[in-house]
Structure 1
Amino acid sequence: MGWWVDVLQSFLLAGSALFSIVNPIGGALLFAQVTGGRTHAERVTLARRVGIYSAIVMLGALWLGAYLLAFFGITIAALRIAGGLVVATTGWRLLSAPEAQEQRKQQQAEGAKDSDDIAFFPLTMPLTTGPGTISVAIALGANRPAEGAALAAFAIGVSAATAAISAAIWLSYSWADWITGLIGPSGVRIIARFAAFILLCVGVQITLNGVLDVFRIAGIGHPA
């Protein structure tokens, strides 16, 4: 029972963090804008490809990002602290000024309207899984347990969360017109602010884990 609780906790942690930064519902607005001149069938095909590409980007950052940084001599504790600060800063920026982030993505979307093959660039990167998403994924990967059942539970949980986010991207983009008509820009902004607050909390938690690692390495523990 305890093992499945660990899986669920990993799923919720990774899912909330990735959903907050990816924001598939907000991305559906941009997807509709970029693909405005295409048929519904073409949009569905593009949405499926973006979902697959996004899964590859997130899984790659989750499982390879920490090893790449470790190659340069960066410890897991340092990576957790730095990654947590990046995640928290991103959450704070989205929480305090989401309009600026939305405007930047809209400007990127405007330049992509006339492209033929836009599934990977710019729809996947940077509009859906850009540098912010990669930073969050690397920070989450650095937060993984060292070995054993805890690592297996973490791997299953975060991989399932990545698959769920990719599916959410696929569905949201496939039904972009319906979503934008139902929720509207103001509803998307409300969802984005709530997601940004969750992202801020996740970043603080990852940073706290890194600080605790430093104390553990230094042999500083709680008094008996």
Structure 2
Amino acid sequence: MDSAAFITTFVTLLIVMDPIALAPLFLAMTRGMDQARRRRIAIRACVTSALLLCVFAAFGEAVLGFIGISMPAFRIAGGILLFLTALDMLFERRTKRREDQVDNDDHDDPSVFPLAIPLIAGPGAIATVILLTGQQEGITGLSWVLGIMFVVLALVFISFLSAGLLERALGKTGINVVTRVLGMLLAALAVQFVLDGLRGFGLAA
């Protein structure tokens, strides 16, 4: 994997998982819990997300081939999905939907739902790992994508543990600004995925 592919993979996964925006949601879901319990929930959520994304990264393309979906077609569909996610980030709809999921959750342990699924390993993240692994060749490319994914999940874990500090440092306005900037970057990356898919069909230069 060259440096450009490395940066693209890291930035895409970082934007889609969005550790900064997840921090205040984690804080809301673990309100009143002690630090030890919060740590256990954070670990369980990140491990569950990692296992789910590993399965899709390793077998997602094979499943697509089995049901007759070509990788260029999935790149176009995935790019459109990521573009819609970017629009949600730009207009705050994504944050509002995540907050609604938090408000509607009555479980004592939110680690699997809604933290792991769908907040960390949601449709956007699943589509992204399939797209990124499809762009790399062989086990080496898969290993690189998974390695970068684990780094991003580590950042998510760190953001969970420092959720209170992060929220106080950035404030609601700061988090909104960061989310919008990341949304702009994700929109550009989504368009690139669509162009790559069109190029696979010979429809773009």
TM-score in same-fold range (> 0.5): yes
Partner letter of residue 174 of structure 1? L
Query: Who is 1:38 aligned against?
Result: 33
Does 2:167 match 1:176? no
User: Which deviates more, 25-34 or 49-58?
Assistant: 49-58
Q: How big is each residue's C-alpha offset from its partner over 1:44-91, in whole Å with a ceiling of 9 and x where there is no partner?
A: 121122221222222222222222121111111211222222222322
In the alignment, what sits opposite 1:103? 96
Give the corresponding residue for 1:136. Answer: 128
SS of aligned partner of 2:51? helix
The 8 Å contact of residues 51 and 166 in structure 1, kept in 2 or not, is answered as yes
Structure 1 unaligned residues grouped into runs of 5+: 1-5
1:124 paired to 2:116: yes
C-alpha distance in structure 1 between counterparts of 2:187 and 2:54, whole Å: 21
Are residues 49 and 188 of structure 1, via their aligned partners in 2, closer, same or farther at CA, if it must alter by over 3 Å?
A: same
Distance 1:90 1:64 in 2: 24
Choose which of 25, 41, 54 in structure 2 pairs with 1:59. Answer: 54
| Counterpart contact for 1:31–1:176, Cα < 8 Å | yes
Question: Once the 2 structures are TM-superposed, how far is the Cα of residue 7 of structure 1 from its aligned partner?
Answer: 4.2
Once the 2 structures are TM-superposed, how far is the Cα of residue 179 of structure 1 from its aligned partner?
Answer: 1.0
Q: Is residue 2:200 matched to residue 1:213? A: yes
For residue 119 of structure 2, give the secondary structure of its aligned residue in structure 1. Answer: coil
- Could you tell me which residue of structure 1 aligns to residue 81 of structure 2? 86
Question: Residues of 1 paired with 2:31 and 2:177: CA distance?
Answer: 24
Q: Whose radius of gyration is greater, 1 or 2?
A: 1
**1:36 CA displacement:** 0.4
Match of 1:195 in 2: 182
% identical equivalent positions: 27
Count of aligned pairs: 205
Residue 3 of structure 1 corresponds to none
Residues 50, 123 of structure 1: 8 Å contact kept: yes
TM-aligned CA distance change 1:211 to 1:108, over 3 Å: same
Q: Return the offset for 1:171.
A: 0.5
Conservation of the 8 A alpha-carbon contact between 1:7 and 1:156: no
Counterpart secondary structure, 2:68: coil
Question: CA RMSD, aligned part only?
Answer: 2.0
The one of 14, 23, 27 aligned to 1:19: 14
Deviates more, 1:50-59 or 1:157-166: 50-59
Equivalent position SS for 1:126: helix
How many Å separate the matches in 2 of 1:11 and 1:35?
34
Unaligned runs of 5+ in 2: none
Deviation at 1:221, TM superposition (A): 9.9
Q: What is the letter of the counterpart of residue 127 of structure 1?
A: L
The answer as to whether partners of 2:44 and 2:111 remain within 8 angstroms in 1 is yes
After TM superposition, what 4+ stretches of structure 1 lie above 6 angstroms from structure 2? none
